[in-house]
Amino acid sequence: MAPNVELLQQKHNLDLHHAPTGLIDAKDIGTPDAHVSRDPNITRLTGKHPLNAETPIPLLMDHGFITPNSLHIVRNHGPVPQNQWDNHSITISGLVNKPVTITMDDILQLPSHTLPVTICCAGNRRKEQNMIKPSIGFSWGPGGVGTAYYTGVFLRDLINEVAGGLKPEALHICMEGNDNTAKGGYGTSITVNRAMSPEFDVLIAYKMNGEPLPYDHGYPVRCIVPGCIGGRSVKWLSKIEVSTQVSQNPFQNADNKVFPPTVLSADQATEENWWTNPDYSVYDLNVNGVVAAPYHGSKVALDDLNKNITLNGFAYGGSNRKVTRCEITLDDGKTWKLADIIDKKSEGDRYASEHYGYDKSKYPESYNQTRYWTWVHWSIEIPIADLLGVQEICLRCWNETNSVMPKDLNWSLMGMLNNCWYRVKLHLIRDPTLSLIFQHPTTLPGDTTQLGNTLPGWMEENQAEATAAASAAAPPKKTLFSADELKTFTLQEVEKHISEDDCWLIYDNLVYDCTPFLEAHPGGASSILLAAGTDCTEEFDAIHSQKAKDMLTDYLIGKLEVKRQASPPPTPPSEMDQVETTKSIDPSSGVVKSYFDPRKWKKLVLQKKEHMSATIRRFTFAIPQDVSQDCILSLPTGLHLFIKLPEDINDTSAKPKMVMRAYTPSKVNTRTIEFVIKVYFPFNSVPGGKLTTSLDQIRLGETVDFKGPVGEIQYLGDGEFNIHNKLYHDIDQIGMVAGGTGITPMWQLIQAALQDSVKRPFMSLIYCARSIDEIIFYKELKQLECDRLRVRLVLSEVPDDGSWTGGTGRFTMEELQQYLFPFSDSTSRLAFLCGPDPMLTHCCLPLLKEAYGDNFCANSVFTF
Ligand code: MTE
C-alpha cells in the first residue's frame, strides 16, 4: 500500500520535504555549496569549500547540552548534494535476504526513535598535534564536537523489517553517501555486530533536534553511529551493502587511522602496508575533555583574593562509557582537585520533550541507565588565591573503564584522537591592576579574546621552536603511493594540461591533477589555471598554509622526470583564439596584448607611495618605457593581479620565503599602474598582514613582482559581464556595495562602464567607510557622479560640524532600497559586493535577501 505521506508528515509534525533554509553566507556564494544556509559564527577551518567548521568554544558552552543545528560541527569531504526528499532512496544490497531500494516515505513507516548523541570528529584537537609535528590532517581546535537529538529508525529494524534480515556470512555493513567528493561518494563500514545489536543504537536518522536534517548534516537521511568517531556516521546515505569485507570505499582504508608514531609519512604507510591493516582503524572515540572557561585570552583581576574563579568545560567518555571523573591539577599532576560533573542531560531531555516530543519513558530504565552516548559538562570553583604562582592548569578525565587522558601528547601520522591533558597557561600581568591572563594551547582563524586581540595559543607561540626542532623528523608530504609506484611525467607532458577540463600542476617535483578541485578552490578556478602546466612550488608556498599542502595530496598522479627537458616555445594563439579570449575569463584572456602574463612574473618599479590615511596607501608602479600603451590598457576590468614579495624584505638569502596575494588595480594608466591597499600593522601580539607590511617597507625605486590577471568577474564592456564563465548580456543596472578598500574593483568597473558607447548601463554605488578620511577616491567619485552614476557614501563616524550629507551609522534596509537601484525598474540588474566579510555576511546579504528575495541573491549578486 502506498504510504499516506500527508499523514506521515503530520505524525512527524514537520515538513520533511525541505531541508531547513536560511541565510546564505557570503563565503559560499559562487561555490558548489551556494544552496546551503550556514551560520557565520561557525569557525571555518579549510577556506571556503568544502565546509569543515567547528563551533567556537564560548558558543558551544553557552548552548549547554544541546548544540543548535546551525552551530554544530560540520565535516564535509566534498560539495553538499542538493538532495530532495521525494526522489532520494537508499539501496540495500549484498548479504541480505531481500535486496531492496527504499524511499524516504518508506522509512517513515518504521518505528521511530529519538536519542541524544555527541558527534565528534576523530581530528578534534588535532591542532595540538600539528604544533608538535605536522600530521597529514588539517587543524581542528577543541570544538569539533557537538550534541544533538537525532530521530530515525534503528538500522537493525531497517535490515530486519525491510531487507529480510542478514545472511549468516554477513560481517560488515558498508554505507555510502551520494556526495561527490574527489574520490566519489564518501563511504565506510561498521561491523554487523555493532549495527544489529540492540546495545549500540545505530540509527538511520532523518531529523536533528526536531528539524529535518540540515543540508550540511546529511539531508534527507544519514547514519548515526553513537560512541564512534563522526567519520563512521555517513551523511546523505544512499547505499547500504552488507559484505564479508570492510568497505572498499577509498575513505575506509585511507582515513580514520591511528598508527604507531614510527609511521612518519603516508609513503611509509603505503610501503609498509599500514593503511590496509584493520588494527589501526578507529571506530570508538576515546575519553577526552576540554577546559572552556576561563576562555582563551580572558583576563581575571586579582583585586580580591577571597573570590573564587569557576573553571568549566566538557568531556566525553568515548564508546558507551560513562565519564566518571574530571580532575584539575595546578602543579603538573602532583595533586588533583575533583571537578563536579554536571548533569546537563536531564536539561537536554526536558528541552527535547517540550520542543520535539522526546519521550524518555518510552524506553525502560534499564535502557536509559546504560546509555552514555553524549558528553558531560564539568565545573569547579577554585579560590583565586590558589592560582598565585601557578603556571598551568591541566585537565584530565576518566571513563568508567578507568581509562584516563594521558599526560603527554601521542603524535600519530593522521593526528587523530588526540586526548592528552588539556593545558591552559597562566600569565601574571599589570594592566593596570594585577591580573591573570589565561592562554589555551591553540587558536583558530577569527578567534578574538576578551582583550579584543588575537593572542596566539601557547603552542602556537612555541611553534617556531617546536617546528624547528621537529623539522628534521617531520614527515614528508602525504601520499598514498610510494615514490616507486608513481608514474613519471616529463615537463612537456605536464605543460599540455592547462585547461579547465584538464589541469595539472607541479609542486615539489610531484605532479597533481587538480581538475576536480577547480570548482571548489576558495580562490576561484582561474587562480589555479594560472599555474596549470607549470611548476608552481614557490607560488604555492607563498600563498598557502600547511593544510592546503595536505589537501594537494588527494590529487597526486605522479612525479616529475628529474632531468627536465626543454619545452617547445608556446604556440601563438590563432586569430580565432584571439577573438575568443577577449570574451573569455580564461586566465589567458588578455595575454595576447596585455603586458602582464598569467604565467610569468613581471617586475615593476615602485614610483610613488602616498599615505591616504593612517593605514591606507596608494602605491604607484612604473610601466617599463618599452611597453606599448595598448599592452597596459588591455588589462581586463574587474580582474586582479598577484603581487609577490619576500615575507621579510630584508631577507637577502638566495631563496627567501615569499608571500603573494591578489589585488585589483585601482587605476591603469599608459605609464603607471596604481593599487590602493590597506596595511595591516602588527598590534600587541597580533601579527601584521604579511604582504601589506612588507609592501609598506618597499622603498621608491625598488621592484615588486606581478602576475595575472586572475579573477572570476570580468566586465567586458557595453553591459556585458563574464562571471564564473557565464556571460551576462544587456545588463542595464549595476548596483554596487563596497566597504573600505573593497572600493577598488568597483572603481575599476565604474571607470570602464562610463566609457561604454553602445550599451550604457546605469550604475549606483553605496560605499561604506569608517570616517571621511577613509573614503578612498572621495573627490574622484564626486567628480564622476552623473545621470548614469549615483554615489551614496555611508560613514560610521561623521564629522562633528554637521556638514555631512551622506548616510550615517550602519548600512540599513532604507539605504539599500533607496540607493542600490535608484533608477526606474528593470529586469536586467546585477549587484556586486566587495568589503570585509562581516559586513557582507551580517549586513549586506541578509538585507539583499529580504529586499530582493532568494532568487535574486542566488543568481544576480556576486562578491568580488
Ligand atoms: N558522510 C559523507 N557522505 N560525507 C562526508 O564528508 N564526513 C564524515 C561523516 N560522514 C562525511 C560523512 C566525518 S569525517 C564526520 S566527522 C561526520 O560526518 C561529521 O558529521 P557532521 O558534519 O554532521 O557533524
217 lines ligand 1 (CB under 6 A): yes
The dihedrals phi and psi of 188, each to the nearest 5 degrees, come to: -165, 180
Confidence of residue 647 (pLDDT cuts 50, 70, 90): confident
Q: Where is 104: in which H helix or E strand?
A: helix 104-108
CATH of the domain at 681: 2.40.30.10
Q: Across residues 757-768, what is the average pLDDT?
A: 92
Q: DSSP secondary-structure letter at 251?
A: H
Confidence of residue 14 (pLDDT cuts 50, 70, 90): low
660 plus 725 within the same structural domain = no
540 lines ligand 1 (CB under 6 A): no
Is residue 42 domain-resident?
yes
First-to-last alpha carbon distance for the chain, in angstroms, is: 53
pLDDT for position 7: 53
CATH of the domain at 159: 3.90.420.10
pLDDT per position as a tens digit, 808-840? 887 788 888 899 998 877 779 999 999 887 788
Is residue 133 domain-resident?
yes
Bridge partners, 323 (sequence order)? 399
What cell numbers appear for 1 in the block?
500500500
Report which ligand 1 atom has the smallest distance to the Cα of 121: 16
Please identify which residue in the block is written with the cell numbers 576515546: 286
**In this predicted model, which residue has the larger pLDDT, 82 or 1?**
82
pLDDT for position 558: 83
pLDDT per position as a tens digit, 299-339? 999 988 899 999 999 999 999 999 999 999 999 999 999 99
Please identify which residue in the block is written with the cell numbers 560540520: 74
Q: DSSP secondary-structure letter at 844?
A: I
pLDDT more than 90, % of the chain: 52
Is residue 582 domain-resident?
no
pLDDT for position 615: 81
Is residue 208 domain-resident?
yes
128 plus 26 within the same structural domain = yes
pLDDT per position as a tens digit, 414-446? 999 999 999 999 999 887 788 999 999 999 877
CB 799 within 8 A of CB 825: no
Is the pLDDT score of 168 beyond 60? yes
Q: How far apart are CA 323 and CA 301, in angstroms?
A: 33
Is residue 466 domain-resident?
no
- Cis-peptide into 220, omega within 30 deg: yes
CA proximity to 775, closest of 744, 751, 753, 748: 744
Is the pLDDT score of 208 beyond 80? yes
Confidence of residue 452 (pLDDT cuts 50, 70, 90): low
Residues in CB range of 776: below 8 A, 6 or more apart: 612, 616, 666, 676, 741, 743, 744, 747, 769
pLDDT for position 79: 95
- Which of 262, 280, 298 finishes a domain? 280
Q: How far apart are CA 301 and CA 381, in angstroms?
A: 16
Q: Where is 473: in which H helix or E strand?
A: none
| Residue with CA at minimum distance from ligand 1 atom 5 | 76
Q: Where is 107: in which H helix or E strand?
A: helix 104-108
Check residue 332 and give left, alpha or beta (phi > 0: left; psi -120 to 50: alpha): left
649 plus 728 within the same structural domain = no
700 plus 722 within the same structural domain = no
**In this predicted model, which residue has the larger pLDDT, 603 or 221?**
221
Query: In terms of pTM, does the model score above 0.85?
Result: no
Residue 631 bears catalytic tag? no
213 plus 244 within the same structural domain = yes
CB 732 within 8 A of CB 829: yes
Residue 121 bears catalytic tag? yes
Angle at 202 between CA 351 and CA 210, to 5 degrees: 30
Q: How far apart are CA 312 and CA 294, in angstroms?
A: 8
Confidence of residue 646 (pLDDT cuts 50, 70, 90): confident
Low-confidence winner among 427-441, 457-471, 599-613, 634-648 (lowest mean pLDDT): 457-471
Residues in CB range of 309: below 8 A, 6 or more apart: 294, 300, 381, 382, 383, 384, 387
Residues in CB range of 107: below 8 A, 6 or more apart: 90, 152, 153, 158, 204, 206, 221
Q: How far apart are CA 837 and CA 831, in angstroms?
A: 16
761 plus 704 within the same structural domain = no
Number of domains observed in the structure of the chain: 4
Q: Hey, what amino acid is at 195?
A: A
What cell numbers appear for 717 in the block?
564592456
Residue 256 bears catalytic tag? yes
Among residues 76, 83, 209, 256, which one is catalytic? 256
Is the pLDDT score of 578 beyond 60? no
Is residue 462 domain-resident?
no
**Would you state the torsion angle of the CA atoms of residues 43, 46, 47, 49, taken in this order, to the nearest 10 degrees?**
-100
675 plus 611 within the same structural domain = yes
Is the pLDDT score of 3 beyond 60? no
CB 244 within 8 A of CB 401: no
Is the pLDDT score of 592 beyond 50? no
705 plus 755 within the same structural domain = no
Residues in CB range of 48: below 8 A, 6 or more apart: 27, 28, 31, 522
Please identify which residue in the block is written with the cell numbers 539531508: 219
CB 596 within 8 A of CB 707: yes
Confidence of residue 47 (pLDDT cuts 50, 70, 90): confident
75 lines ligand 1 (CB under 6 A): yes
Q: Across residues 84-99, what is the average pLDDT?
A: 97
CB 457 within 8 A of CB 441: yes
Is residue 365 domain-resident?
no
Count how many residues are written for the chain.
Answer: 864
50 lines ligand 1 (CB under 6 A): no
Range of the domain at 498: 487-560
CB 532 within 8 A of CB 588: no
Q: How far apart are CA 196 and CA 165, in angstroms?
A: 10
Residues in CB range of 856: below 8 A, 6 or more apart: 831, 848
| Number of CB atoms found within 10 A of residue 677's CB | 23
Is residue 825 domain-resident?
yes
598 plus 614 within the same structural domain = yes
Q: Across residues 798-813, what is the average pLDDT?
A: 84
45 plus 70 within the same structural domain = yes
CATH of the domain at 834: 3.40.50.80
pLDDT per position as a tens digit, 126-138? 999 999 988 999 9
CA proximity to 757, closest of 719, 715, 714: 719
Confidence of residue 357 (pLDDT cuts 50, 70, 90): confident
CATH of the domain at 499: 3.10.120.10
Q: Across residues 204-220, what is the average pLDDT?
A: 97
Q: Choose from 407-416, 632-641, 798-807 the range with maximum mean pLDDT.
A: 407-416
- Which of 560, 579, 603 finishes a domain? 560
Q: Across residues 235-242, what is the average pLDDT?
A: 98
pLDDT for position 564: 38
| Residue with CA at minimum distance from ligand 1 atom 13 | 231
517 plus 629 within the same structural domain = no
pLDDT for position 626: 79
CB 856 within 8 A of CB 844: no
Is the pLDDT score of 5 beyond 70? no
pLDDT more than 70, % of the chain: 89
Please identify which residue in the block is written with the cell numbers 575506509: 252
- Mean pLDDT of the chain, nearest integer: 86
**In this predicted model, which residue has the larger pLDDT, 633 or 424?**
424
Establish how many alpha carbons lie within 13 A of residue 192's alpha carbon, considering only the half-sphere containing its beta carbon: 18
pLDDT for position 113: 96
pLDDT per position as a tens digit, 252-299? 999 999 999 999 988 889 989 999 999 999 999 999 999 999 999 999
- Pocket mutation for ligand 1, best pick of 71, 88, 186 (most atoms within 8 Å of C-beta): 186
Q: Hey, what amino acid is at 117?
A: V
38 lines ligand 1 (CB under 6 A): no
CB 94 within 8 A of CB 189: no
Q: How far apart are CA 154 and CA 152, in angstroms?
A: 7
Please identify which residue in the block is written with the cell numbers 515538513: 15
60 plus 125 within the same structural domain = yes
Q: Across residues 78-98, what is the average pLDDT?
A: 97
644 lines ligand 1 (CB under 6 A): no
177 lines ligand 1 (CB under 6 A): yes
Is the pLDDT score of 580 beyond 80? no
What cell numbers appear for 362 in the block?
518510552
Q: Across residues 488-516, what is the average pLDDT?
A: 82
Q: Where is 312: in which H helix or E strand?
A: strand 308-316
Question: What is the distance, to the nearest Å, from the Cα of residue 87 to the centroid of all Cα atoms in its chain?
Answer: 30
Q: What distance in angstroms lies between residue 74's CA and the mean position of ligand 1's atoms?
A: 7
